[in-house]
Amino acid sequence: MADTSASEERLRLALRAAQQGAWEYDFRAGVGYRSPELQELLGVGNGAPSLGDYLGNVHPEDRPLILQNFEDFRRGRQDEAVILYRFLRDDGRALWVEQHTMVERDESGEMVRLYGLSRDVTRSKETERELVRLNADLERRVQERTRELEEERAALAAFAAFTGRAAGATDVQELAGHACEVLRAVLDVELTVYYERVDDRWQMRVASGDLPGELAGLRRGDLPVTSPAFAPILGVEEVTFLDAAHPESQAPGRSAVTAAYAPLPVPGGAQGLLSMASVERPAWSEREKAIFRAVSDSFRLALERAGAVAQLQAQKEEALGRNRALEAFAQLSRDLVLETDRLALVGRAQDIVLKLWPEGLAAYFEPEGELWWLRSQVGNTGHPEVWKRVGRGLPRATPLLLAPWSAGEAFYHDGFGSLPEVARAGLAPLRRAALLPVVVDGAPVGLFGVGLPLQDTWQAAERAFLDTAVRSLGLALERAQSVTQLAEEQRKLAAANEELEAFAYSVSHDLRTPVRHIMGFNQLLRKTLGAAAGEKSTRYLTVIDEATARMNTLIDAMLDLSRTSRLPLRPGLVDLGELVRDVRAELEVDAADRQVEWRVSPLPLVIGDPDTLRQVLVNLLSNALKYTRPRPQAHIDVWTEERPEAWAVFVRDDGVGFDPRYSGKLFGVFQRLHRQDEFEGTGVGLANVRRIINRHGGQVWAEGVPGGGATFAFSLPRQT
């Protein structure tokens, strides 16, 4: 005895010196053991953990690994394994543990006990991670330096490419984009922008980069020429550089900006402006100024050449305009399929139409009461006060709007601006216009109008484009209306289902009282009649008893069905094999006088709610017993199939089966394929099975042959 104690003490000392601890788990007893050294090593106080305790100490991300190893041990795929995982101490801190596990099996090969050694490898794991981090940091620095060298070479190449392209390019937007990108790449400035002046505003055409915080407004698409950012260059025609110390750069409420501006003539008489800005440098160096002047000079020469060939491009632009019309219509067709909001659809159609006529105006009107209301407007109005008046509503009898509405067809006006009512309304600058009814489900709902300032006549291709665009808009509005109605119907259906479940629950409770009264008074009547009750009266009383018992069964079924949808799921680790054994024991009374052979394969651990999964197995196994009752020798098989995302569980019997044409009805409420006098039941059990499995994220299905048995199956996701 003393020698044994001494050996155990030496073993403990050896384990402590090796920073290891011993453990084991007895599957038959359902309890484990952790040595004191292991408890101290892992920071836990539970020395006799259950399987659930053990899994509770495993980091959630590593539990699938542990469960897979358990499954491999259970199925005999391995007898020894070394696993690396994260262990959660009692104080919540995670340790990296290397666990050497071995299995002990009985004579039949069933797993009896797991045992092994565990050691803390957190420090080596952290050292490994630190080495990985250092290597990654070194690699990142090398990559950054390599990228810097590549960026410098790319910037010089881009500068040379811009100079070459400027010699032959004529598109202003393309040149501006190259200029902005080259300046940012070569000088590393935060923002480069190309503006064009329209009336008294600078409109952004091309931009690259941005400025932080309150300075981000310099990238906006529309700024007054008198704004602080442009005040220093007002009336200046030379390249201008502003350092951060310049008074104009010290505007109240914002940071100082170092800026540069180059005014440029644009073909057609417009004025352009190339600019760059920075908040990181106090002043421009001579190198930076020289590069900016060189890029702006090249840009100016390219713009002059573009102006010289502008006339030669007129016919080409006209042909391109036709192509743009086709592209715009294709885009409109695609966009209208994706949108469902009514006015958003109208606005998108207006945007696409004005891509063909950028200088034009698009308006959409709808009648309401005695007025026409302007619902959507896009484009250059030219007279804001006129459109404010239009926005307050136009009389329903306005001829320009009433005529196409009443006729139900498009009106195209070539001399729109010369019409007296147009001149009186202040819309004379619109030389031609079109008004087209928008038809939804065969009835007009609004008018789609387009006005253009160019004196011209509507061409056949233009009319065809507008007719098709507005017809497409009507179809899109029909679809959007249908989608909205469908969503509303789905909402009503969901509400109705909720009310139906509540109603079924309430009715089931309310029905119990009259059924109890019928049963009670039937018993009183039976006692009152006593021996005087004839055979016919006794039979009538028996029928009443059986009917009330049947009614109670249906009420219980309705309550179970309603409760299945209401009770919350409490997912956890469920041993399917143990669950099947428990249900079989519960059903043994139903098979006491029968010859039933159960063939149950090894079943896995799954994630689910144990109580509701028990309901599922009770329904399926009891059905298998019930429908094999006519067989002198019944066979019932239970097995699972492992699939990539789920476990599939099967219950097969050799009973009476069913006609596969009616398999879709099996899982419906109160749906039965056999008469009550053949097999008892309520028609609710399989409906409950479907609801429970659906709530677990799985599916149910069944196969059967009349007289040849049936197979019922369900799936459960491997992880939730």
pLDDT digit string (tens) for 39-63?
988 899 988 999 888 889 999 999 9
What percent of the chain is modeled with pLDDT above 70? 75
Give residue 379's pLDDT: 84
- Residue 32's pLDDT is 92
Q: Is the pLDDT of residue 131 over 70?
A: yes
pLDDT at 458: 84
Q: Which pLDDT band, with edges at 50, 70 and 90, does 188 fall under? A: confident
Q: What is the pLDDT of residue 322?
A: 55
Task: Say what the pLDDT of residue 556 is.
Answer: 66
Within 10 A of 468 (CB to CB), how many other CB atoms are there? 13
Average pLDDT over residues 319-330: 59
Distance (Å) of CA 661 to CA 702, 704, 711, 712: 11, 9, 15, 15
Asked if pLDDT for residue 6 goes beyond 70, the answer is: no
What are 641's strand-pairing partners? 648
Average the pLDDT over 516-536 and give the result.
Answer: 77
Q: What percent of the chain has pLDDT over 90?
A: 21
Residue 574: what pLDDT?
A: 92
Q: Which residues contact 112 (CB under 8 A, 6 or more apart)?
A: 26, 27, 28, 104, 105, 106
Whether the per-residue pLDDT at 321 is higher than 90: the answer is no
How large is the average pLDDT for residues 439-460? Answer: 86
Q: What is the mean pLDDT of the chain?
A: 80
314, pLDDT greater than 50: no
Predicted local distance difference test score (pLDDT) of residue 95: 92
Residue 643 pLDDT exceeds 70: yes
Residue 614 pLDDT greater than 60, yes or no? yes
- Confidence class for position 561, pLDDT limits 50, 70, 90: low
- The reported pLDDT for the residue numbered 333 is 60
**650 has pLDDT over 90:** yes
Average of pLDDT values for 509-523?
72
Whether the per-residue pLDDT at 462 is higher than 50: the answer is yes
Give the pLDDT band of residue 454 (cuts 50, 70, 90).
confident
Is the pLDDT at 342 greater than 90, yes or no?
Answer: no
- Contact between 643 and 691 under an 8 Å Cβ cutoff? The reply is no
Residue whose pair of structure tokens reads 């069944």 in the numeric block: 702
As a whole number, mean pLDDT of residues 227-250 equals 72
Please state the rounded mean pLDDT for residues 644-668: 85
φ/ψ bin of 235: left (φ > 0), alpha (ψ from -120 to 50), beta (otherwise): left
State how far the alpha carbon of 523 is from the alpha carbons of 69, 515, 542, 683, in Å: 61, 12, 10, 29
- Dump pLDDT digits (tens) for 698-719: 999 999 888 889 999 999 998 6
**Segment 526-554 mean pLDDT:** 74
Q: Note the pLDDT of residue 405.
A: 93
Higher local confidence (pLDDT), 534 or 696: 696
Q: Which two tokens stand for residue 495?
A: 């509400």
For the segment 106-118, what is each residue's pLDDT rounded down to a tens digit? 998 899 999 999 9
CA angle 585, 586, 592 (to 5 degrees): 75
Q: Lowest-pLDDT range, 125-129, 179-183, 457-461?
A: 457-461
Band (453; pLDDT cuts 50, 70, 90): confident
In 10 A of CB 509, how many CB atoms? 13
Residue whose tokens read 């006015």:
343
Tell me which residue has tokens 């079989």: 584
pLDDT in tens, 262-295: 988 877 666 888 988 888 888 888 888 888 888 8
Confidence of residue 605 (pLDDT cuts 50, 70, 90): very high
Question: Which one, of 444, 434, 379, lies nearest residue 407 by Cα?
Answer: 444
pLDDT recorded at residue 413: 82
- Are 547 and 570 within 8 A, CB to CB? no
> What tens digit of pLDDT does each residue of 537-548 get?
777 777 777 667
Query: What is the rounded distance in angstroms from the CA atom of residue 701 to the CA atom of residue 646?
Result: 15
Sheet holding 222-224, edge to edge: 222-224, 201-209, 191-198, 270-278, 258-266, 240-242
Nearest to 99 by CA among 86, 90, 108, 111: 86
Q: How confident is the model at residue 186 (pLDDT cuts 50, 70, 90)?
A: confident
Cα 399 from Cα 66, distance rounded (Å): 80
| 577-592: pLDDT as tens digits | 999 999 888 888 777 7
Is it the case that residue 372 has pLDDT exceeding 60? yes
Domains of the chain, first to last: 2-120 (3.30.450.20), 163-309 (3.30.450.40), 316-566 (3.30.450.40), 571-717 (3.30.565.10)
Mean per-residue pLDDT, 372-391: 79
CA distance 258 to 260: 7
Find the mean pLDDT for residues 496-525: 68
Which residues is 240 bridged to in the sheet?
Answer: 261
**Predicted confidence band of residue 84 (pLDDT cuts 50, 70, 90):** very high
Confidence at residue 103, expressed as pLDDT on a 0 to 100 scale: 94
